[in-house]
Amino acid sequence: MNKLRHALNLGFAAFMLSACSPAPETEQSLKGLLYCAEGNPESFNPQLVTSGTTLDMTAAQLYDRLIEFDAKQQTFVSALATSWEISNDGLRYQFQLRENVAFHRTEWFQPSRFLNAEDVVFSFNRWLDTDHPFHAVSGRGYPFFTASGLTELIHSVTAIDEHRVEIRIRQQDSSFLANLASDFAIILSAEYGQQLLAENNAWQMDSQPIGTGPFQFSQFRKDVMVRYIRHADYWREPAASEQLVFRIAQSDHKRMLMLLTQDCDISPYPPARDIQWLRDKPEITLQDTISPNTAFWAFNTERPPFDDPRVRQALAHAVNRNAILNTVYFDHAVRADSILPNTSWAHHATPSAYRYDPELARSLLAEAGYENGFSMEIWALPVQRAYNPNARLMAERIQADLTAIGVQVNIVSYEWSTFRRRLGLGEHDSVLIGWSADHADPDNFFRPLLSCAAKESGNNRAQWCDPMFDELLSAAISSNDLDVREAYYLQAQNHLAQEVPLLPIAHSVRFQASRQNIQGLELEPFGGIQLRKVSRQSVNSEEQ
């Protein structure tokens, strides 16, 4: 066993400073699965965020949902709900809950009962009902639920009896089940909520979490690590690892070093430049999948000159995206000609709207009154994502392209939490960011990113609200006929190509690196990572 494996609560801080100092192993570290995370969690409640970093750390590790989406079978499967029925008019969904599902038992909460319908009502009403006692305790909104339209769609959530829940919606929505299966639609403990209210500690709900998932919260040290331990009473097979530790290292170089020195077992989003190098390492397993994702450059349409479609069109035509595919992705991506990935049944390419044409870009700028150009900022995502392995480098490529048409660019970035906060406030001129699908329904790429509701939630990075576009999306989800839906999504994509609130750049391959002795690790195309079946096997097969 490599002597560089550190005591998690003592040696890691020193490692972060020295990046190479060995420390003795401990019994605690030997029994943990070590995951290299690229940043701190914003919260321990997925209802409150859309950040992939936070979702990876929380959604599938601490919580469960009513239903899940099986990507291999392309169907919805039971989770906390064992079955569900839909009324003939498509407006009432009744869920039969699983019995004997235990919540986490911790120093700060000892549940007196199993999961029941009260917990489901409590969890949904937290983000649905503005008068709910926990609705505003975090000081944050519920961006996914607002942006996806669920807050307006759902009429009521009612407990029929102890193990049956009925959800009534206001109109048919073909994406409804997909949204319920997303990482955000977790179930909380109503009993824990009652305890916190009695103790006047409501804020603790999201910082000392209680769920039904395979792991339970143990410790968080900002910029250092998050520790979970196995949930002994998990309703499925218990987690394969006794504990799960997310080691936080924002530098991709440091994460790769930690993987090679066995200070991490798993590292997501390895740098594109290192893919071939990792493939040649016998001690490393490199996984990849076609992940429905899109990297894009969003323009703040509430700020001049980006409120003029001609300026946005000009900027789109100025960017050589093929060069970006080569230098940023090392050709592990394809050019995006729509916000919707080319793997979707509703994808419609509009390449002419985004083709590289600097002369046309100059002409459009002159037509808009900017023949001498202007100055602007590009905000670059400060963390790695599957859809964008190096936003800073991408910004530099775009900066060079825009200089050629007379537009001067200042590249801006901040620490991740500051970046997200200021981005949500709309302080940016433009931003390089992206989206990875939570589920297979095409609506997941339109409403959460570009609807008027998404603007209100802060998730619409273009600050773009177009009633005509919203009407097309509403018409699409009101039908279960794929041909009808596809026709509406065709119109929606054509409209985006004309208005250009954002420039789609790339759909990338998602990679994940791990030590060769890691077992049970799968790379799912949708949602965050799932680690309950993953363990580390030592030479003598005793280590887990």
Q: What pLDDT, on the 0 to 100 scale, is given for residue 31?
A: 67
Q: Which two tokens stand for residue 250?
A: 């924002």
Query: How many domains does the chain fold into?
Result: 3
Residues 479 and 494 in one domain: yes
Range of the domain at 152: 64-209
The answer to the question of residue 288 being in a domain is no
pLDDT of 20 higher than 50: no
Q: pLDDT by residue (tens digit) across 108-147?
A: 999 999 999 999 999 999 999 999 999 999 888 999 999 9
CB-CB neighbours of 424 under 10 Å: 17
Q: Kindly state whether residues 376 and 483 are assigned to the same domain.
A: yes
Question: What is the 8-class DSSP label of residue 174?
Answer: T
What's the burial of 52, exposed, middle or buried (CB within 10 Å: 0-12/13-18/19+)? buried
Can you give the CATH number for the domain in which 224 is found? 3.40.190.10
**Residue 406 and residue 340 share a domain:** yes
pLDDT for residue 540? 53
Inside any domain, residue 77: yes
Give the Cβ contact number of residue 351 at 10 Å: 11
Handedness of CA 448, 451, 452, 453 (dihedral sign): negative
With cut-offs at 50, 70 and 90, classify the pLDDT of residue 30. very low
Where does 129-226 have alpha helices with state H?
143-147, 150-153, 176-180, 190-198
Same domain membership, residue 448 and residue 304: yes
Q: Is 27 exposed, middle or buried (0-12, 13-18, 19+ CB in 10 A)?
A: exposed
d(CA 167, CA 525): 28
> Average pLDDT in the 184-195 region?
98
Q: Please indicate, yes or no, whether residues 349 and 477 belong to a single structural domain of this protein.
A: yes
pLDDT > 90 fraction of the chain, expressed in percent and rounded: 83
In the chain, the percentage of residues whose pLDDT exceeds 70 is: 93
Looking at every residue in the chain, the average pLDDT score rounds to 92
- Between 473 and 6, residue with greater pLDDT: 473
Residues 445 and 404 in one domain: yes
On whether residue 270 sits in a domain, the answer given is: yes
Site of tokens 């019994």: 27
Region 274-297 average pLDDT: 94
Task: Write the pLDDT tens digit of every residue in 341-376.
Answer: 998 999 999 888 899 999 999 999 999 999 999 999
Q: Which of 294, 291, 292, 301 is nearest to 454 (CA)?
A: 301
Residues 441 and 538 in one domain: no
Residues 381 and 504 in one domain: yes
Do the Cβ atoms of 108 and 192 come closer than 8 Å? no
When pLDDT is averaged across residues 186-206 and rounded to a whole number, the result is 98
Asked if the peptide bond before residue 305 counts as cis, ω within 30 degrees of 0, the response is: yes
In a domain, 485, yes or no: yes
Closest C-alpha among 422, 475, 527 to residue 183: 527
* Residues 381 and 485 both lie in one domain: yes
Asked if residue 7 belongs to a domain, the reply is yes
Asked if residue 159 belongs to a domain, the reply is: yes
Say if strands 154-161 and 375-380 run parallel, antiparallel, or are unpaired.
Answer: unpaired
> Quick one: three-class SS letters along 233-251?
CCCCCCCCCCEEEEEECCC
> Which residue, among 474, 229, 432, has the nearest Cα to 319 in the 3D structure?
432
Same domain, 491 and 522: no
Residues 373 and 501 in one domain: yes
Domain boundary among 186, 209, 232: 209
User: Which pLDDT score, from 0 to 100, does residue 140 have?
Assistant: 84
Which residues neighbour 224 within 8 Å (Cβ) at sequence distance 6 or greater?
A: 12, 13, 16, 247, 248
Vertex 393 angle, CA 341 and 431, to 5°: 60
Predicted pLDDT at 527: 74
Report the alpha-carbon distance of residue 112 to residue 102 in Å, rounded: 10
What does the pLDDT look like over 410-445, one tens digit per residue? 999 998 889 988 998 999 999 999 999 888 899 999
Domain stops at, among 193, 209, 225: 209
Q: What confidence score (pLDDT) does residue 207 get?
A: 97
| CA atoms of 104 and 117, how far apart (whole Å) | 17
Residue 111 pLDDT: 98
Asked whether residue 519 carries a pLDDT value surpassing 70, the answer given is yes
Assess if residue 437 is contained within a domain.
yes
Do 397 and 268 lie in a common domain?
no
Name 433's bridge partners: 296
CATH of the domain at 83: 3.90.76.10
Give, for 254, the enclosing helix (H) or strand (E): helix 252-260
Q: Is residue 440 part of a domain?
A: yes
pLDDT at 352: 85
Ramachandran sector of residue 269 (left: φ over 0; alpha: ψ -120 to 50; beta: rest): left
CATH number at residue 397: 3.10.105.10
Which of residues 156, 181, 209 is at a domain's end? Answer: 209
